[in-house]
Structure 1
Amino acid sequence: MSYTGWIILTASLVGLTCGLIGVFLILRKMAMMADAISHTVLLGIVIAYLITNELNGPHMLVGALLAGLLTAVLIQWLQTFNIQQDAAIGIVFTTLFAIGVVLIATSVGNAHLDVQHALMGEITFIPFNTITLPLVGNVPQATAMLIIVFFIVLFFILVFYKEWKITSFDPALAASLGIPVLLMHYLFMSLVSLTTVASFDAVGAIMVVAMLITPAASAYLWTDKLSIMLVLSGSFGVISAILGYYLAAWIDTSISGSMAFATGIVFLVSFIFSPTHGLIGKYIKPVKG
């Protein structure tokens, strides 16, 4: 595959996986959780580096995943003290991210780990860091990881589809039916963390947040059916990745930034032209009546 092909495939996998997870974030009214976890995983990455002095390896994934879960646990814990969810997210998110930034500035030294890399990613370098897979050959490491994460996310969504649906729309009903709501919550947070971590190094925190929230918000405008919303959200993520790449190539700017901007374009089109919730649809409906 060409250099351009690997970049587009990697970004499309980010858009597809984040699009699926993002639907449940939107339905659970936890959109800001995506922003929080996409930033706090930086702390886990820094601590993993300080322990091992290596920038590559499974320990980075484990460190970031644990940081994501710590974020979810701390937010849930603060809510038990009657602190509102958005306030709890703001407290945990800013504190853990600030600790990560301070550790980078004071302890990491000359390693290739900085805040700019964390925010914007290094997707242009993805095709150069490869691993060899049987029957496939050389594949970018980030792409291989994202393929694995996509199938993990897809597996859990399909297996627990009914549980995700009930706990997202009516947690009280789910609890009365014997569904372990808290366990499903932390399982979902694990999937959010895993998706964020896998996407983080390739595209940075800004694009992760954009891909987790905006395609799902766009899909929410087009349909009220969960299964269709999942398909649309994943598709919008892929469309945004492809559109953003060619936009970046056209005006010679940041690829990740352009892909995040493309999600906004998709949302704007949805906001205007959606037949049910779009501006035009709302304008035409009274006329028809």
Structure 2
Amino acid sequence: MNELWIILTGMLVASSCALLGCFLILRKMAMVGDAISHAVLPGIVVAFLVTGDRHSFPMLLGAAAFGLVTTLLIESLRKSGVQADAAISVTFTSLFSVGIILVSLFARQVDLDLDCVLYGEIIYVPWDTIIWNGLDWGPKAVWIVGTTLVLNALTILLFYKQLKLSAFDPAMAAALGIPVAFFHYLLMGLVSVTTVASFESVGAILVVAMLIVPAATAYLLTDRLSRMLLYSVLTGCLSAVTGYFLAGALDASVAGAMTVMAGVFFILALFLSPRHGLVTRWWQRMRLQRDLASHGE
């Protein structure tokens, strides 16, 4: 049963991250997701210091708030003339460093250490359960990440057209009266909440891969957003399942193995994608050359 909970948690994390990752990829904001996933650390620490509970709802709010602060700072720096990559780098490294200092100063003696925040450990998920009315309702991580997945999925279903148009053509979306800025910050807020909800299982560093790699894999496999969302979720879930058994075979970190498998699937898509794969393109060029040679004869 513990094995099932671990795999389920990995699938939920991968799915919730993958859905948002598709829009980050299309908006060419992959590094913004990286920045937010690191810069929310001060918000987590501040929320913990205020509430004294690292499973609290205020912790999600603190992370989301700092995620929006990160986005605002990046946009402000870009508008002031700083290059986009420099703005992202300055913002997330500064906020992340502040978070590390806060952890080392105020949370050194509690279970909010750097290993917990940065790396996480998914194998402990089955033992941290919710007990209510004398009944065991399952791991807290499953409920938290599952709720986040439902929130992300419902938001995308409700605002699919607006998010799609804002991602592909923001100017047209604004001309049609769609509040592009609102949906931009809504997406950033969801990324923040999803990141902190995934901390316990995969950590701040590995969640970056789950945000980007399955979505990037799906991007290579299709040109339609609806299919991209589906393929990204399937890739993330497959990475979670195969990564778990890889970790068992190697006696290695489960979360790390899941991320490695996500990278493996990306490499396979990079070479073997039906339309954009390197091998596919090479084969098409070779066939075109043969056709031209045959016509020349």
* TM-score of the two chains, using structure 1 as the length reference: 0.95
Q: CA separation in 2, counterparts of 1:94 and 1:159?
A: 34
Name the CA distance, whole Å, in 1 between partners of 2:77 and 2:216. 27
**1:81 corresponds to:** 80
Structure 2 partner of 1:108: 107
CA shift digits 1:147-167 (9 cap, x unpaired): 111111111111111111111
Q: Taking every aligned residue pair, what percent have the same amino acid on both sides?
A: 47
What code does the residue aligned with 1:15 have?
A
Amino acid at match of 1:287: M
Match of 2:144 in 1: 145
Q: Tell me the equivalent position of 1:186.
A: 185
**Would you say how many aligned residue pairs link Structure 1 and Structure 2?**
287
Answer whether contact 2:218 2:232 (CA < 8 A) is retained. Answer: yes
* Mapped partners of 1:133, 1:50: distance in 2: 26
Tell me the distance in 1 between the aligned counterparts of 2:51 and 2:181: 33
Per-residue deviation at 1:11?
0.5
Q: Distance in 1 between matches of 2:43 and 2:11?
A: 25
- RMSD value over aligned CA atoms? 1.4
Unaligned runs of 5+ in 1: none
- Partner amino acid for 1:168? A
Q: Does the 8 A contact of 1:206 with 1:260 survive in 2?
A: no
1:92-171 equivalent positions in 2, closer than 5 A: 92-132=91-131, 137-171=136-170
The answer to whether structure 1 residue 205 and structure 2 residue 233 are counterparts is: no
Residue 51 of structure 2 corresponds to 52
Which amino acid in 2 is paired with 1:26? I
* Whole-Å separation in 2 of the counterparts to 1:285 and 1:86: 35
| 1:170-222 deviations in Å (ceiling 9; x for gaps) | 11111111111101101111111111111122210222111110111111111
Q: CA deviation at 1:51?
A: 2.0
1:273 matches 2:272: yes
| 1:263 alignment counterpart | 262
Per-residue deviation at 1:132? 4.2
State the SS of the aligned residue for 2:138.
strand
Instruction: After TM superposition, give the deviation of residue 107 of structure 1 in Å.
Output: 2.2
Instruction: Work out whether 1:27 is the aligned partner of 2:39.
Output: no
Residue equivalent to 2:7: 8
Q: Matches of 1:49 and 1:3 in 2, distance apart?
A: 28
Alignment of 1:18 onto 2:17: yes
Q: Provide, for residues 62-119 of structure 1, a one-character-per-residue CA deviation record: whole Å limited to 9, x for no partner.
A: 2222121211121122222022222111111000000011111122231111222212
Q: Deviations over 1:30-82 (max 9, x none)?
A: 00111111111211111112223333322222222212121112112222202
Q: From the CA coordinates, give the structure whose radius of gyration is larger.
A: 2
TM (norm. structure 2) is: 0.93
Q: Corresponding residue for 2:220?
A: 221
The amino acid of 1:163's aligned partner reads: Q
Partner of 1:195: 194
- More off after superposition, 83-92 vs 274-283: 83-92
Deviation at 1:16, TM superposition (A): 0.8
Q: Which runs of 5+ in 2 are unaligned?
A: 289-297
Amino acid at match of 1:18: C
Letter in 1 for 2:58: H
C-alpha separation in 1, matches of 2:181 and 2:51: 33
Q: CA deviation at 1:137?
A: 4.6
Q: 1:251 to 1:282 in 2, by over 3 A?
A: same
Letter in 2 for 1:218: T
